[in-house]
Amino acid sequence: MPDRVHNFCAGPCTLPLPVLEEVRDEFVNFNDEGMSLIEMSHRARAYDEVHQNAMRLAVEVSGAPDEFGVMFIQGGATLQFAMVPMNLLGNAQRAGYINSGTWGKGAITDAKPHGDIYVAWDGDETGYTRMPHTAELNVEQNTRYLHVTSNETIGGIRMADWPEVDAPLVADMSSDYLSRSIPWEKFDLVYGGVQKNLGPAGMAIVFVRKSILENTSRNIARYLRYDVHHDKDSLFNTPPMFTIYLVGKVLGWMKDKGGLPAIEREAAEKAALLYDTIDASDGYYTSPVDRACRSHMNVVFRLPTEDLEKKFLTDSHGENLVNLKGHRSVGGCRASIYNAMPTSSVKALADFMAEFQRANG
């Protein structure tokens, strides 16, 4: 095996090499403290600087306005599936959910025990190959929020246009988190696990409209309360210090690259390299996804037969292009090309795909 492969893993994902090298160099003796970061108190000054820096950068890179607070909460996006309705839905309040695929469905499943939940649009009828148009949504009266999944990681579809509805939006942005600008005025809350675009596993970043914290639930365990995390600056209990430290470094790397505008442009360019290869293949490679909803992060595609797909996965692995197998629930191939995936690696894959078709067409 070479030092580093082209890693198309859907999550946890490849991270910027300069960040990994910096972390390696700082690891054993952090900041001349004579200990590593993960061995010190989370109340130590050296850690507090890391913590506050990561919080500041999350706000700065995301462009979140003053009306929003940021929180680092363990339990990934999955815990947010439950925390959102637990905190936001009071007595007799309803929430609408878009079922756009595996993750949208997961959010619905975990919300149901905590409130009056209805499905505002069901992608099951179209095989989860696209996101809904606003006109197709059935948003009922007195909807506290409409929950959306900005990018379905397994289906490879993204919400190119946000719904135009009266209810505030809540979004699971896990798999295209901080790879696109966020129209904050539409949202009461935005969340995502960090391990797809922003760092190692271990937490979610949650942005909340501060004004709603006055009315979030108090009658739940303290760790599950947004107001507690917000009041305590995400230091209510021992935070995942290593994850926060690394996320801070990745956010700094993103800022140096030119921030969200540059990242968003590059993401579209990287995705186009693969979709253009698919479209130019005369049907050798096929994408099940509606063109308008093609994900910029997770490019799913099929080959003419399952045998060819197997050979594709074996041969690509031989070229150090790894983790291209589609999710076990849908099969086929999937290339995840998150923020840290270099354009050169995506080019290497596009070239390999063209070459594989020539040899096996």
Ligand X SMILES: *Cc1c(COP(=O)(O)O)cnc(C)c1O
By CB under 6 A, name the binding residues for ligand X.
11, 76-78, 103, 149, 153, 172, 174-175, 193, 196
Is 196 a catalytic site residue?
A: yes
Query: Radius of gyration of the chain from Cα atoms?
Result: 21
SS percent in the chain: helix, strand, coil, step 5: 45, 15, 40
Output the CA–CA distances (angstroms, integers) from residue 74 to 80, 193, 223, 231, 313, in the order listed: 9, 9, 10, 16, 34
Instruction: Write out the two tokens for 109.
Output: 């499943």
Count of Cβ atoms closer than 10 Å to residue 39 Cβ: 12
Looking at beta carbons only, is 152 or 352 nearer to ligand X?
Answer: 152
Smallest distance, ligand X to C-beta of residue 172, A: 5
Smallest distance, ligand X to C-beta of residue 143, A: 21
The catalytic residue among 110, 122, 172, 227 is 172
Looking at beta carbons only, is 8 or 103 nearer to ligand X?
Answer: 103
Is 103 a catalytic site residue?
A: yes
Query: Is residue 12 reached through a cis peptide bond, with omega within 30 degrees of 0 on the bond before it?
Result: yes
Smallest distance, ligand X to C-beta of residue 175, A: 4
Looking at beta carbons only, is 106 or 288 nearer to ligand X?
Answer: 106
The catalytic residue among 196, 249, 270, 325 is 196
Smallest distance, ligand X to C-beta of residue 193, A: 3
Is 184 a catalytic site residue?
A: no
Which amino acid belongs to residue 1?
M
Looking at beta carbons only, is 122 or 172 nearer to ligand X?
Answer: 172
Note whether 199 and 359 are within 8 A (CB).
no
| Nearest Cα to Cα of residue 250 among 68, 26, 58, 6 | 58
Q: Which of the residues are catalytic?
A: 103, 172, 196
